[in-house]
Amino acid sequence: FERQQRALIALATTTAAAEGGIESLATLATELIVGATDVARASVWLLDQTHTQLRLIDLYQRDAGSHEHGSMLTVAEYPRYFAAVRSGRFVDADDALTDPRTNEFTDNYLRPLGIGAALDAGIQLGSDVVGVVSLEHVGSARTWRRHEIEFAGEVADQLSLALHNRARLDAIAREQHLQEQLLHAQK
């Protein structure tokens, strides 16, 4: 629990959150998640504008100490998972191989990587889910504890705040650009 609280403080106080630096915040978040929850893998995914694809922003693998990014998941390949992500705050699959929300991943992802349990928390902007934070346990099934589920949700909230800040800063920059154009046109 203390490791989780320290991780949340680190996320909340980094400049990446205030500046809307979602990529660097995702990299930090995945490393902190792995250290705070003893999962083997943690990742951050964002939906594209059509909400039909999830793009991997960052995946951290504890054993390899490595980061990956760029993979894609589509609603056509994983319709039940996308429906579960859209319908609730969490996908807490204690047994990811048999849970109907995640078992679409069994043959090409879960079994080859040895993942037995998965916990995903929705990243939301307003009422829209725009991505997920994913925690993956390698080994047998795992019962996610309440504080782990809440922690995943709080990490997702920190990422939501960064996305909100990025949108706000982009809007300010657009407004400044338009004001400069107006001043130039008036001259």
What is the sign of the dihedral through the CA atoms of 45, 133, 15 and 161? Answer: positive
The radius of gyration of the chain from alpha carbons, rounded to an integer in Å, stands at 18
- Give pLDDT < 70 ranges for the chain: 20, 166-172
Q: Tens of pLDDT along 121-175?
A: 999 988 888 999 999 999 999 999 999 999 999 999 989 888 877 666 566 677 7
Q: Could you tell me which of 34, 105, 117, 122 has the C-alpha nearest to residue 71?
A: 105
Q: Could you tell me which of 154, 142, 153 has the C-alpha nearest to residue 39?
A: 142
> Distance (Å, rounded) from C-alpha 164 to C-alpha 12?
14
User: Parallel, antiparallel, or unpaired: how do β-strands 72-74 and 115-125 relate?
Assistant: unpaired
Residue 21, pLDDT score: 76
| Predicted model pTM | 0.84
Residue 143, CA distances (Å) to 48, 87, 116 in order: 31, 21, 10
Q: What is residue 110's three-state secondary structure?
A: helix
> Distance (Å, rounded) from C-alpha 113 to C-alpha 34?
16
- Which of the 8 DSSP states describes residue 143? P
Cβ-contact 78, 105 below 8 angstroms:
yes
Q: Kindly state the helix (H) or strand (E) to which residue 93 belongs, with its residue range.
A: strand 90-93
Q: Could you tell me which of 89, 91, 148 has the C-alpha nearest to residue 124?
A: 89
Using CA atoms of 155, 160, 162, 163 in order, give the dihedral in degrees to the nearest 10: 150
Residue 23, pLDDT score: 87
